[in-house]
Amino acid sequence: MQWLTSRATRRLQGERGAAAVVLSLLLIPMLGFAAIAVDIGALYAERARLQVGADAAAIAVAQDCSRGNCGDMLATAQALIELNDTEGTAATPVLSSDPLSVTVTGGTPKEHWFAPIIGHDSTRVSATATVGWGSPSAGTSVLPLTFSYCSFSKQTGGLASTTPQVVKFSEDDPSPCPNAGGNQVPGGFAFVDPDEGTCNATHSLDQELQSSTGVSLPGGCTKADFDGWLQRTILLPLFDQVGGTGNNAWYRVYGYAAFRLTGYAFNGTNRSAKVVCGPGTNPSVRCITGYFTRFVELSDAWSYSPDAPTLGSSILRLIR
């Protein structure tokens, strides 16, 4: 029995020694797999953070450039990348004219946990984002309005300061626009037919918008719709041609401008305040108050085109 016990002990010790040898042989590939599982996973996470930073940086630089002043592009890009990755650095943003866009690249070295055992201490991670911009060419306005391009140019002087101005209907329009901008249909601004069941209006450049006549709000719209957009900026179509009469009248979309809505008066009921169009103004005078301004739209509700007229508003798109 003792002989059997000794033999079993020697065999067990031999197996332990063999297991140690096998384990030592497998240690390097096991660490390699650990490097793949952990270190590469960390690289993907790092790149995701950098990508968010690059996207934000490209959007911020594009916003500045679309407003006419790119400023210090590198400083802007670096600040946005650092907000998402404290060790990230930005390369000098690259502007392109075809298409009109800016590209931002961010990078950072990522130290590994296990890969140094197989000779890889760190890997440089990078992410790139490109944002393009241009003037609006089509989209959905949140209110069914259109302005005369002549009134935009003459009555408000185009892009105005933050001092609200009064834009009046044609019969009260003081601007030197014959027939409200050379148009046969009256209206320094006018209602257009909204999308069915809404107070929005979807349209595009050169489209002929059907006129919604009268002083009442178009079907689908309420006073609350207009009140909800007071003190906010909206994109509206400007028309340069008209045709037809009455309910068959139409307005041709010339381009889009951003309008900061501060007040409105359409009739005795639908108005934002008791006095809107000016002190001592006849209550029957209809107007909108506000000013045209520079504006950058980020929503997917709008598209842009290099051929669209430049009227102070821009659409940004991430095109990486």
Domain annotation covers residue 101: yes
Measured distance CA(130)–CA(153) in Å, rounded? 34
Domain annotation covers residue 308: yes
Measured distance CA(37)–CA(77) in Å, rounded? 32
pLDDT score at 184: 45
pLDDT score at 21: 59
Domain boundary among 133, 163, 181: 133
Of 87, 88, 98, the closest CA to residue 57 belongs to: 88
Do 69 and 200 fall into the same domain?
Answer: no
Instruction: Using pLDDT thresholds of 50, 70 and 90, give the confidence band for residue 26.
Output: low
How does pLDDT run across 228-273, given as a tens digit for each residue?
A: 999 999 999 998 888 877 777 888 999 999 989 999 988 778 889 8
Q: Tokens 């096991």 identify what position?
A: 30
Residue 243, token pair as written in the block: 């045709």
pLDDT score at 113: 56
Do 151 and 254 fall into the same domain?
Answer: yes
Q: Is residue 62 scored above 90 in pLDDT?
A: yes
Domain boundary among 99, 133, 167: 133
pLDDT score at 263: 92
Domain annotation covers residue 9: no
Domain extent, residue 215, equals 142-318
How does pLDDT run across 161-202, given as a tens digit for each residue?
A: 566 777 776 555 555 564 443 344 555 567 899 999 999 999
- Which of 48-62, 113-127, 255-269 shows the lowest per-residue confidence on average (mean pLDDT)? 113-127
Q: Tokens 């240690």 identify what position?
A: 27
Q: Tokens 């045709």 identify what position?
A: 243
Measured N-to-C along each axis, helices 40-66 and 73-84 cross at an angle, to the nearest 10 degrees, of 140
pLDDT score at 226: 94
Q: Is residue 3 scored above 50 in pLDDT?
A: no
The pTM of the full predicted model, rounded to 2 decimals, is 0.75
The residue-averaged pLDDT of 215-224 equals 87
Do 168 and 37 fall into the same domain?
Answer: no
pLDDT score at 166: 78
Of 180, 182, 183, the closest CA to residue 167 belongs to: 180
Domain boundary among 133, 162, 195: 133
Of 128, 127, 130, the closest CA to residue 61 belongs to: 130
Q: Is residue 102 scored above 90 in pLDDT?
A: yes
Domain annotation covers residue 149: yes
The residue-averaged pLDDT of 8-27 equals 55
The residue-averaged pLDDT of 298-319 equals 89
- Which of 27-36, 54-63, 201-210, 213-222 shows the lowest per-residue confidence on average (mean pLDDT)? 27-36
Choice between 164 and 129, residue whose per-residue pLDDT is larger: 129
Task: Write out the DSSP string of 134-200.
Answer: EEEEEEEESS-EEEEHHHHHHTS-SS--SS-EEEE-GGG--SS-THHHH-SS--SEEEBPPPTTSS-
